[in-house]
């Protein structure tokens, strides 16, 4: 049973990581850097848990719309995306291997996969539920990757403008690489945690949008092979 749960917790990340990696047509990223980024994602997950323990936010009760909004956008969305952004920035943003626009998507997604894998293993083994494992594999793990696609897209643009010493535009796209995933993450959780039929309808519509927009960005940017 535990082996099955482990497979269900890890396989979504392996599949998505392989897909993102295969789309890098021009110059494959070094495994050593991808490994460091993935480990950085795991460390991000550990940091999030430590912060939730320190601030006691894991016991936060959201009963009203405002409480749900605060929990979704601030406690979860803002905190998780900020830590993932900072980890991605410090590990690979200034690395010489980050020399194509699509590389930003690769690195952001691999870090998100490290984060999601760690988080998924914790949840799956805590509740010992294969239905939960399937649910998280279909919804939660891909969602982290979708948020990362947007982060990586804007990171690539920021790195492009850094090359031409256009630091104002670089800062603008760096801000977007954090803010856009934060809003997407917050809205994703808000629709899910609200619990009403209308919010669940919005949740699945939004999930469809994330699938469509993320795969479109991956296809488009990987084909363009734009050098930074």
pLDDT tens string 147-204? 999 999 999 999 999 999 999 999 999 999 999 999 999 999 999 999 889 999 999 9
Yes or no: say if 137 and 11 are a contact pair by the CB < 8 Å rule.
yes
Q: Tokens representing 108?
A: 């952001």
* Domain span including residue 217: 2-55+64-224
Whether the predicted pLDDT of 85 surpasses 80: yes
CA distance linking residue 41 with residue 3, whole number of Å = 23
Tokens 């979504």 locate to 12
Number of structural domains the chain divides into = 1
Yes or no: say if 80 and 47 are a contact pair by the CB < 8 Å rule.
no
């Amino acid at each position: 049973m535990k082996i099955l749960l482990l497979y269900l917790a890890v396989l979504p990340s392996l599949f998505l990581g392989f897909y993102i990696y295969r789309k890098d047509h021009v110059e494959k990223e070094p495994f050593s850097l991808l490994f460091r980024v993935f480990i950085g994602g795991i460390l991000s997950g550990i940091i999030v848990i430590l912060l939730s323990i320190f601030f006691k936010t894991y016991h936060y009760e959201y009963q009203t719309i405002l409480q749900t909004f605060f929990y979704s956008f601030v406690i979860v969305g803002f905190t998780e995306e900020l830590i993932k952004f900072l980890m991605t920035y410090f590990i690979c943003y200034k690395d010489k291997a980050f020399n194509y626009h699509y590389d930003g998507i690769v690195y952001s997604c691999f870090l998100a996969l490290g984060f999601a894998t760690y988080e998924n293993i914790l949840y799956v083994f805590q509740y010992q539920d294969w239905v939960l494992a399937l649910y998280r594999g279909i919804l939660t793990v891909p969602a982290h990757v979708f948020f990362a696609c947007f982060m990586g897209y804007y990171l690539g643009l920021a790195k492009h403008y850094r090359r031409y010493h256009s630091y104002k535009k670089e800062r603008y796209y760096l801000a977007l690489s954090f803010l856009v995933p934060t809003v997407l993450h917050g809205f994703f959780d808000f629709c899910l945690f609200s619990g009403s039929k209308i919010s669940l309808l919005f949740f699945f519509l939004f999930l469809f949008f994330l699938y469509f927009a993320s795969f479109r960005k991956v296809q488009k940017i990987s084909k363009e092979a734009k050098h930074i």
